[in-house]
Amino acid sequence: MKAKVGDRIIEEGTHVGDHRRIGVVTGVRHDDGTPPYEVRWLDSGHEALVFPGTDARVEPAPARND
């Protein structure tokens, strides 16, 4: 898994009743884009250091039209 600042991390719920979490990558600690990532979760605004599991995926940041 590789990500860059601005990408989204999506974690699917793994148990009944769990919901999908979406976060924005705000920091990458390795030059090659590998985890861990600094993420701001959209549902709570909480910022955390994230080591994504097998239930997570990265979606590229939306293209900007400058």
Domains of the chain, residue spans: 8-59
Q: Report the chain's mean pLDDT, rounded to a whole number.
A: 91
Averaged over 5-34, what is the pLDDT?
Answer: 91
Name every residue whose Cβ is closer than 8 Å to that of residue 64 and which is 6 or more positions away in sequence.
none
Q: How confident is the model at residue 39 (pLDDT cuts 50, 70, 90)?
A: very high
Specify the pLDDT at position 66. 61
Q: What is the pTM of this model?
A: 0.85
Beta strand spans in 1-66 (E): 8-11, 21-28, 37-41, 47-50, 56-59
Is the pLDDT at 15 greater than 80? The verdict is no
Supply 39's token pair: 């993420």
Q: How confident is the model at residue 52 (pLDDT cuts 50, 70, 90)?
A: very high
Is the pLDDT at 12 greater than 90? The verdict is no
